[in-house]
């Protein structure tokens, strides 16, 4: 049975259900207890689980992420909220050199089962240090898994899978998706990490996206369908590991691919996806894959300027017209 839930509610439900299921699951982060977090995702959890499991931290990302790594090493399963993804830069040593490496260094007896929830993305006028999408930073770090859901159902299912995973998981939540409502299964709902999702079927053009950019991909696909172009829209859902089979199969079937992400295009996630397509589907392509991504500039506060740096459905349509001509 499903109900309509906001993404923020779906995430909260996943955490609450896993905390009831496993008393090793704890929450950590700035203002997550009484205040419920900057985006109210943890609202109400303090009342049910108490201050020993819903823990307010000082404003010290390097410190409390380090505490979470230690907690994971000693048997707990911490979920850490970083207030804005931008602030994860302060904890990169603990994430990249500690959490991601300890299993490799110490062997099978040591795991680091922790989740870092990172509210990401622009669109709110928060400016250069509160609007970034730094997804590509993490996909090249062995030992980390990287997840970026689009739908409320996937938000619940993937967060549940991340909490149960014995590896550190970077869990990216686009701020503009918190208020999106959609059907979410009741009870236990798990979406396997590493599987992409075909959200629209078509044979003329593949559009591959993730997180908020799936909205732009679907809007473009709907507009293109009105002129007879049927798009295959793939939601990656997981950035590490990538679902090579789904990516290559779609590219090989349509022969034309547009890749869209909000993060900076240079060195982005879709640069890696484009390489995988060229390696796995080159002989089937009618045109080179085209990447759309964020502009190479700090993100401004002004709405019009911010919008100019972010890829849109109109950009997808314009590129589609060129490669289908």
Catalytic residue among 98, 103, 130, 189: 130
- Using pLDDT thresholds of 50, 70 and 90, give the confidence band for residue 297: very high
Q: pLDDT, tens digit, for every residue of 172-225? A: 999 999 999 999 999 999 999 999 999 999 999 999 999 999 999 999 999 999
Q: pLDDT, tens digit, for every residue of 233-272? A: 999 999 999 999 999 999 999 999 999 999 999 999 999 9
Q: Look-up: residue for tokens 């290559």?
A: 248
Q: Is 130 a residue of the active site?
A: yes
- Using pLDDT thresholds of 50, 70 and 90, give the confidence band for residue 75: very high
Distances in whole angstroms, Cα of residue 40 to Cα of each of 65, 144, 161: 20, 26, 22
pLDDT for the residue 108: 85
pLDDT at 323 over 90: yes
Average pLDDT along the chain: 97
- Using pLDDT thresholds of 50, 70 and 90, give the confidence band for residue 231: very high
Q: Packing angle between helix 213-225 and helix 313-324, nearest 10 degrees?
A: 50
Contact 82, 29 (CB under 8 A): yes
pTM of the shown model: 0.96
pLDDT at 285 over 90: yes
Catalytic residue among 13, 18, 30, 61: 61
pLDDT for the residue 200: 98
Q: Is 61 a residue of the active site?
A: yes
pLDDT for the residue 226: 97
Q: Which domains, and CATH codes, for the chain?
A: 2-185 (3.40.50.970), 197-324 (3.40.50.920)
pLDDT at 1 over 90: no
pLDDT at 71 over 90: yes
- Neighbour tally for 48: CB within 10 Å: 11
pLDDT at 27 over 90: yes
pLDDT at 109 over 90: no
Taking the C-alpha atoms of residue 308 and residue 121, their distance in angstroms, rounded to an integer, is 14
Q: The tokens of 86 are what?
A: 């931008």
Cβ neighbors of 85 (< 8 A, separation 6 or more) are 118, 119, 120, 121, 132, 133, 134, 172
- Neighbour tally for 136: CB within 10 Å: 21
């Amino acid at each position: 049975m499903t109900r309509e839930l906001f993404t923020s509610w779906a995430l909260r439900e996943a955490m609450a259900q896993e905390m009831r299921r496993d008393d090793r699951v704890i929450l950590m982060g700035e203002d997550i207890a009484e205040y419920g977090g900057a985006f109210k995702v943890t609202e109400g959890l303090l009342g049910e689980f108490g201050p020993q499991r819903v823990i307010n931290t000082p404003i010290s990302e390097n410190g409390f992420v380090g505490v979470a790594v230690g907690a994971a090493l000693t048997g707990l399963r911490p979920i850490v909220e970083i207030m804005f993804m931008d602030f994860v830069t302060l904890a990169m040593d603990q994430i990249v050199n500690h959490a991601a490496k300890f299993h490799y260094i110490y062997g099978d007896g040591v795991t680091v089962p922790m989740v870092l929830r990172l509210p990401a993305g622009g669109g709110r006028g928060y400016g250069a240090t509160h609007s970034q999408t730094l997804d590509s930073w993490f996909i090249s770090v062995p030992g980390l898994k990287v997840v970026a859901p689009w739908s409320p159902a996937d938000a619940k299912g993937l967060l549940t899978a991340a909490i149960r995973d014995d590896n550190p998981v970077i869990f990216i939540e686009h701020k503009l998706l918190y208020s999106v409502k959609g059907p979410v299964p009741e009870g236990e709902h798990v979406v396997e990490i590493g599987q992409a999702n075909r959200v629209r079927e078509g044979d003329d053009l593949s559009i591959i996206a993730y997180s908020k950019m799936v909205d732009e991909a679907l809007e473009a696909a709907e507009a293109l369908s009105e002129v007879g172009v049927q798009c295959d829209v793939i939601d990656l859902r997981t950035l590490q590991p990538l679902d090579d089979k789904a990516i290559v199969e779609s590219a090989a079937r349509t022969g034309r691919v547009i890749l869209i992400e909000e993060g900076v295009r240079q060195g982005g996630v879709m640069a890696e996806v484009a390489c995988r397509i060229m390696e796995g589907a080159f002989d089937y392509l009618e045109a080179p894959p085209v990447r759309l991504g964020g502009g190479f500039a700090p993100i401004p506060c002004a709405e019009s300027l911010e919008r100019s740096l972010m890829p849109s459905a109109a950009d997808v349509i314009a590129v589609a017209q060129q490669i289908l001509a």
